[in-house]
Structure 1
Amino acid sequence: MESRPIATPPHRPPPNTDLKVRSPWRESLSSLLQNRLAVIGGIILFIFIVMAILAPYLTPYTIDKTDPSIRLLPPSGDHWMGTDDLGRDVFTRVAHGARISLLIGLFAISGALLVGTTLGLIAGFYGRWIDMIISRVFDVLLAFPSILLAIAIVAILGPSLENALIAIAIINVPIFGRIVRSKVISLRSEEFVLAAKAQGMKNGRILFHHILPNSLAPIIVQGTLGFGIAIIEAAALGFLGMGATSPTPEWGRMLADSRGFIQNAYWTVLFPGLSIMLVVLGFNMVGDGLRDALDPKMKNK
C-alpha cells in the first residue's frame, strides 16, 4: 500500500495582538480633540475657569471697596481693566463675576438636566396618559418666550440671584425633557430592551441601565450648549434688575450699573460684555464639537 502524505493545515498568520479595540467614548474624545474650534473653545473656558478659581489671588483689590479718588480711570498697569464709577477695580469684579456666572450655569443646568431627563424617561418609556400629561406641560412651558417666562417666575418669587437660578432651571427643563423623550421612544423597541423585558427585568433597571446610557450623547451636547444659554439668561435677568443685586459682581448687573458711562468710560461696559460673549462662544464651540464627535451621522459627513 502506498503511504499518503499527511496533509498539513494551511499556514495562518498569528493574530495581531497590537490592535486594540477602542471604546466609542474614547473614539469620540479623539474626534473632539481633532476639532480645532472645539479645542479653542475649551481653551477659552479653561482660562475663565482658572480665573474664577483664582479670583481672590489675582489682584490686591476687593470687589466692593470704593475709592472716589480713582473713579472711572482707564485701563493701566495698576488697573488692567480700569475702574468703575465708584472706584472699584473692574478686573477684580470681572474675575469674581466669572465664578458667579459659571456657578449659575452649573447649578441651573444641572437642575434642569436632572428634572428634564427624569420626566423625559418616564414620558417616553411609559407613554399613554403619562406621556400626554408630561408632554402638555412641556408644550405650555415652551409656548412662552424663555426670558419672559423667567421674568415672570422671578417676579413671583422675588428678585434675587437664587430665584433667578431657579427660573433659569425651570425654563430649561422642557428642552432636556423633549430630547430625552424622543430618544427613549426610539430605543424602547430595540432588541436589547425587548430582551431585558423578556428576562423579567424591572422597568426601573431597564431605564437606568439600558436606555439612559444609550441616551447620554444628546444630553451631554444639550447640556454644554445650555450652559452658555443659562449664562446669557442670568446676565439678562441681572441687567433688568431681576437677578443679582449690587454690589454683587455679576456680569449682567455690572452692565446695568455701567450703562450710563458707556460714552466716557467704555471699559466699564466692554470687559463684562466681552466676558459674557467669550464664555458663551466657548461653550457653543465645545458643544458643536461634541455634537460632531458623538453623532455617528456627523462623523460620516
Structure 2
Amino acid sequence: MESRPLATQPHQRPPSKEEKTRSIWGDTFYHLFKNKLALVGAIILTFFILLAIFAPLLTSYTIDKTNPSIRLMPPSSEHWMGTDDLGRDVFTRVAHGARISLLIGLFSISGALVIGTTLGLVAGFYGRWVDMLISRIFDIMLAFPSILLAIAIVAILGPSLQNAMLAIAIINVPIFGRIVRSKVISLRAEEFVLAAKAQGMKNGRIMFHHILPNSLAPIIVQATLGFGIAIIEAAALGFLGMGASPPTPEWGRMLADSRGYIQNAYWTVLFPGLSIMLVVLGFNMLGDGLRDALDPKMKDQG
C-alpha cells in the first residue's frame, strides 16, 4: 500500500519572544494600535473628549447668550461655526454639547452594562426557569424597535435629559444580557468552573470571580459600539423634543431647532450633525478594532 502524507495543520505564526513577555491586555492594546482604523477612531474620540473637557476655555461666549443683531451669521474669524437663529455662537454650543452627548453615552451604557451583565450571568449560570424568565423578558423588549421603546418610556416618565438617559439604558439592557448569557452557557461546563464548585465555592463568587473575567472581551466590544448607538438614540430623542430642553446645547436638539434654516443657514445644521457622525464613527471604528484585537484568530493572521 502506498503511504499517504500526513495531514498538515494550518500554518500558524509562532509567537515571537516579545509577544511571549506581554500580558494579555498588553497584547490586546498592541494589536489594537496596530489597527489603523482603530487608531483613527481613537484620535477622533480623543479630540471630542478634549473638546468637552476644555470647552469653557476654548470660547468666550456662553451657551445661552442671545444677540439678535448677529443672528444667522456665517462662519467667520469671530464665530468659527457661525451663529444660530437667536445669535448664539454655534461653536460654543457644539463644544458644550460634546459634554452632554458623551455623558449620555457614559451613564446610559454603564447602567445597561451593569444590569444586563448581572441578569445575563444569573440566566446563563442557573438555567432552567430562571433562564426562561429572564430570556423571555429580553425577547419581549427586543421585539419592539429600540427607538420606539425609548419614546414610550420617555412619554411615560416625562421629557427630560435624565429620563432620556434612563430610557436608553433600559433598551440596551437585553443586548448586554444576551451576550453575557451565551458566553456564560459556554463557560459553565469548563473545568475551572467545575473545580470551583467541587471546592465548595459559592455561586456568586464563581460567577463574578471566575466566569465574568473570562467573559469580558465581548462585553468590552459591545460597550464601545453601544456608546455610538446611545449617542444616536439620544440625538433622536432630542430631535423629537423628548430629551434635553432648551437652552441645553444637546446636538439632537440643536438639529431640531435649526431644521427650518437648512437652506439659508446650513452651518446651524452642518456642525451638530457632523459632530454626531464623527463621534459615532469613532466609536464604531474603535469597537471594530477592539473586536479584532481580542480575537485570537485575527491576531494569528496579523
Q: What is the TM-score when the length of structure 1 is the normalising length?
A: 0.93
**Rounded Cα–Cα distance in structure 2 between residues aligned with 1:20 and 1:271:** 46
Letter in 2 for 1:67: N
By how many angstroms is 1:18 displaced?
Answer: 8.9
Matched, 1:201 2:201: yes
Question: 1:22: Cα distance to partner?
Answer: 1.8
Runs of 4+ displaced beyond 2 Å: 17-21, 297-301
Q: Which runs of 5 or more residues in structure 2 are unaligned?
A: 1-16
Separation (CA, whole Å) in 1 of partners of 2:145 and 2:298: 30
Give the distance between the partners of 1:88 and 1:272, measured in 2 at CA: 14
CA distance in 1, matches of 2:246, 2:19: 60
How many Å apart are 1:298 and its aligned residue?
2.8
Deviations 1:50-86 (A, max 9, x none): 0000011111100000000000000000000000000
Query: Using the alignment, how far apart are the partners of 1:258 and 1:144 within structure 2?
Result: 30
Residue 289 (structure 1) aligned with residue 289 (structure 2): yes
Question: What code does the residue aligned with 2:99 have?
Answer: R
Amino acid at match of 2:193: V
State the identity as a percent.
83
**Matches for 1:142-157 after TM superposition, within 5 Å:** 142-157=142-157
Correspondence for 1:163 = 163
- Please report how far the alpha carbon of residue 21 of structure 1 lies from its aligned counterpart in structure 2 after TM superposition: 2.5
Task: State the one-letter code of the partner of 2:30.
Answer: S
What does residue range 93-132 of structure 1 map to in structure 2 within 5 Å? 93-132=93-132
Shift of 1:116: 0.1
Per the TM alignment, residue 133 of structure 1 is displaced from its structure 2 partner at its CA by 0.3
- Structure 1 position 25, deviation (Å): 1.2
Q: When the two structures are aligned, how many residues end up with a matched partner?
A: 285
Q: Which amino acid aligns with 2:154?
A: V
Deviations 1:114-156 (A, max 9, x none): 0000000000000000000000000000000000000000000
1:42 aligns with 42
**Deviation of the 1:20 alpha carbon:** 5.6
Q: What is the root-mean-square deviation in Å for CA atoms of aligned residues?
A: 1.2
Residue identity opposite 1:179 in structure 2: I
What is the TM-score of this pair, normalised by structure 2?
0.93
Tell me the alpha carbon deviations over residues 204-244 of structure 1, each in whole angstroms, 9 at most, x when there is no partner. 11111110000000000000000000000000000001111
Partner of 2:86: 86
Q: Which amino acid counterpart does residue 220 of structure 1 have in structure 2? A: I
| Cα deviation, residue 113, structure 1 | 0.1
1:271 to partner: Cα distance: 0.1
Residues 259-291 of structure 1: per-residue CA shift (max 9 Å, x gap): 000000000000000000000000000000000
The answer to whether the 8 A contact 2:19-2:27 is kept is: no
Distance (Å, rounded) in 1 between the aligned partners of 2:120 and 2:163: 24
Separation of aligned partners in 2, 1:135 and 1:20: 40
Larger radius of gyration: 1
**8 Å contact from structure 2 (residues 73, 83) kept in 1:** yes
What is residue 30 of structure 2 aligned with on the other side? 30
Does structure 1 retain, via aligned residues, the 8 Å contact 2:234–2:243?
A: yes
Q: In structure 2, what residue type is equivalent to 1:89?
A: D
2-structure distance, mates of 1:255, 1:297? 42
Whichever residue aligns with residue 24 of structure 2, its letter is P
